[in-house]
């Protein structure tokens, strides 16, 4: 088996220790988890593909591996979940520079580092080599923050909408190095309890992802205040290149990996910027949920514009890096 799969697995295993809720980790037929308490478990999975979500020829394997975990952490953050364990399936290109083993080790080292930063234990996986492009598929398991997971469904007319951070232009490079708002999701749930009605992470663009909240909450609508939507400096830079406004980028670009949430109006004023341990991260009040379906944008001059969702469609047959 020299140079083979078992060498890589043995190496990964030497660099992994069961911890947290993981009782048996890498190296058996299944991982064995012993969750604390009787609470609900959250499970999410995301697959990253060379040529679709990244380019192995251009991007650092460490960034690629980190992103594979971080996008899952962002999904977990959207439910206010507390990360616990992950399993990773990988298909390594047999013709990778330096060989698949070397690439496998580089990916694992970066995954392990990212896992450690977010208190995730790498509990198991499946390692393959093939003649195709690099594929990384991560499944993340977490536990819910009391009083339970925050769903997309649950927004009500009158709720106030917030987003964390600022939006747009992630294509300039930020999309490869997300900062999933895990601690922020948990802090919001702890602060607001059941007054936090609905939450989602922004992966397909604010308009599309807020649209999911509104649709899942029974076909509601919302009006956003154009001047309140936080545009990232990358949205400005990208707009200068492509002629679209920073606001358009903030509304429609994908892979911001910020949180969008609907909060009971009576609780909205409680949400001060000081809620997050990272004081540089702001919480922006961007609009209001309404009974009337549709997504509307109110400009500073009072003009109201209907927004059509234009977010990233993973089936669009355009090659290249999303969004």
In the range 145-164, which residues lie near its own copies by CB under 8 A?
A: 149, 151-153
> Is 210 a residue that touches its own copies (CB under 8 A)?
no
Contact 265, 158 (CB under 8 A): yes
> Is 79 a residue that touches its own copies (CB under 8 A)?
yes
> Is 123 a residue that touches its own copies (CB under 8 A)?
yes
Count the Cβ atoms, other than its own, within 10 Å of residue 189. Answer: 25
CA distance 87 to 98: 25
Q: How far is the CB of 24 from its own copies (least distance, A)?
A: 6
> Is 65 a residue that touches its own copies (CB under 8 A)?
no
> Is 129 a residue that touches its own copies (CB under 8 A)?
yes
Stretch that binds its own copies, among 125-133, 186-194, 232-240, 293-301 (CB under 8 A): 125-133
Which C-beta is closer to its own copies: that of 198 or that of 238?
A: 198
Q: Which of residues 246-275 bind its own copies (CB under 8 A)?
A: none
Q: How far is the CB of 73 from its own copies (least distance, A)?
A: 11
Phi, psi of 27 (to 5 degrees): 120, -5
Q: How far is the CB of 299 from its own copies (least distance, A)?
A: 26
> Is 27 a residue that touches its own copies (CB under 8 A)?
yes
> Is 64 a residue that touches its own copies (CB under 8 A)?
no
Q: Which of 101, 164, 170, 217 binds its own copies (CB under 8 A)?
A: 101
The two structure tokens encoding residue 158: 């009158």
Q: How far is the CB of 221 from its own copies (least distance, A)?
A: 18
- Name the nearest CA neighbour of 146 among 190, 185, 183: 190
Per-residue b/e over 3-21, b at no fewer than 16 CB within 10 Å?
Answer: eebeebbeebeeebebebb
> Is 45 a residue that touches its own copies (CB under 8 A)?
yes
Residues binding its own copies: what is the number (CB under 8 A)? 75
Contact 198, 153 (CB under 8 A): yes
Please tell me the number of Cα atoms within 13 Å of 118 on its side-chain side.
34
CA distance 205 to 252: 5
> Is 214 a residue that touches its own copies (CB under 8 A)?
no
Which C-beta is closer to its own copies: that of 226 or that of 295?
A: 295
Contact 189, 196 (CB under 8 A): yes
| Eight-state DSSP code of residue 149 | P
Which C-beta is closer to its own copies: that of 78 or that of 247?
A: 78
> Is 49 a residue that touches its own copies (CB under 8 A)?
yes
CA distance 7 to 21: 27
> Is 142 a residue that touches its own copies (CB under 8 A)?
yes
């Amino acid at each position: 088996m020299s140079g083979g799969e078992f060498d890589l697995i043995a190496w990964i295993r030497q660099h992994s220790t069961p911890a947290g809720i993981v009782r048996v980790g890498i190296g058996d037929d299944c991982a064995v988890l012993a969750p604390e308490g009787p609470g609900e478990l959250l499970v999410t999975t995301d697959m990253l593909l060379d040529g679709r979500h990244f380019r192995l020829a251009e991007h650092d394997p460490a960034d690629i591996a980190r992103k594979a975990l971080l996008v899952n952490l962002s999904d977990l953050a959207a439910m206010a979940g507390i990360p616990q364990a992950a399993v990773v399936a990988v298909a390594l290109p047999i013709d990778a520079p330096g060989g698949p083993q070397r690439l496998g080790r580089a990916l694992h080292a970066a995954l392990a580092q990212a896992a450690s930063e977010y208190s995730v234990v790498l509990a198991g996986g499946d390692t393959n080599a093939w003649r195709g492009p690099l594929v990384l598929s991560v499944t993340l398991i977490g536990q819910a923050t009391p009083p339970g997971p925050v769903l997309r469904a649950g927004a009500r007319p009158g709720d106030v909408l917030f987003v964390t951070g600022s939006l747009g232009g992630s294509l300039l490079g930020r999309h490869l190095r997300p900062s999933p708002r895990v601690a922020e999701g948990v802090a919001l749930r702890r602060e607001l309890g059941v007054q936090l009605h609905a939450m989602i992470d922004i992966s397909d663009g604010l308009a599309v992802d807020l649209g999911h909240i509104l649709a899942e909450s029974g076909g509601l609508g919302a009006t956003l205040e154009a001047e309140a939507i936080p545009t990232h400096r990358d949205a400005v830079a990208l707009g200068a290149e492509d002629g679209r406004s920073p606001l358009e980028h903030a509304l429609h670009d994908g892979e911001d990996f910020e949180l969008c949430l609907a909060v009971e109006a009576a609780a909205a004023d409680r949400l001060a910027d000081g809620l997050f341990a990272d004081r540089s991260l702001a919480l922006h009040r961007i609009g209001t949920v309404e009974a009337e379906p549709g997504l509307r944008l109110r400009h500073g001059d009072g003009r109201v514009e209907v927004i059509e969702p234009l977010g990233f469609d993973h089936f669009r047959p355009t090659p290249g890096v999303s969004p």
